[in-house]
Amino acid sequence: MTFRPTLVLFAACSCFSAHAASSAGLTVVGSILPSACALTLGGAATSVADFGTLAKSTVMAYPTLGGNSYMPPTKTVALNILCDAALPIALQWTDAKAATKGVIGSTDAFYFGLGLAATSNAKIGAYSIDFSQLRVSTSAAGAFPSVPQGFLKRTVGSTGSWTPVTGSPDTVLFNPSYTLAFRVGGSETTPPPITAVTGNLVIQPFLLKAVVDPATTEIKLDGAATLNILYL
């Protein structure tokens, strides 16, 4: 599974036409921020959570969720955000494989797609992402980090009010339908300015038994998501 905290620009051209155009338009856009934040996963701009090569018998011996999916041991990817100055920011995932997300259970909204089996074209399953050992700093140079006192969320694309998210930082799952921000003091109603975030992302796959059990050929996990920083 590949996680790409990058800005990706696409250009597409349809090169066959009955008539040639005599003019073309060009739009140049961008933003210049007084301050910005650098984001890395696993110490790089692109990180891979590699679950390696597993025997089918090994997978079938893993614990199951709801009796319908196997749960391999998690993989951990280091998360680091360092800002030039204190800025109110939020995090948002874009799931490039959302259309391949299998039905796991009642919390499917929190899962990401894991690709399709090559021979059957069936959805392999899904995976979740949560935090561990999370620390947030509001002071210069990321000094004096502390455990965040919860989160704030709002629907992706919304500019409305934020909703508090309860629970320990280590038990809150990312939901790709929401933008997530930190509560440093625990009482904020809007995201506070921060200078640094450190911790880990914990990736938990769920592999559907209906795909794994009858498999006679290789199944390749193929998840891909992009983590974005939003400046508020």
Please give the pLDDT value at position 215. Answer: 93
Please give the pLDDT value at position 19. Answer: 54
Calpha distance 33→229 (Å, rounded): 13
Tokens 């965040």, residue located? 148
Calpha distance 232→213 (Å, rounded): 46
Please give the pLDDT value at position 10. Answer: 33
- Amino acid symbol at 27: T
Please give the pLDDT value at position 185. Answer: 83
Helix H or strand E encompassing 211: helix 209-212
> Vertex 228, ends 223 and 229: CA angle to 5°?
155
* This prediction's pTM: 0.84
Tokens 């939003």, residue located? 230
| Buried-exposed string 164-202: b where 16+ CB fall within 10 A, e elsewhere | ebeeebeebbbbbebbbbbbbeeebeebbebbbbbbbbb
Report, as ranges of residue numbers, the positions in the chain whose pLDDT lies below 70: 1-21, 27, 29-30, 33-34, 140-144
Please give the pLDDT value at position 209. Answer: 96
Calpha distance 228→7 (Å, rounded): 8
Please give the pLDDT value at position 105. Answer: 81
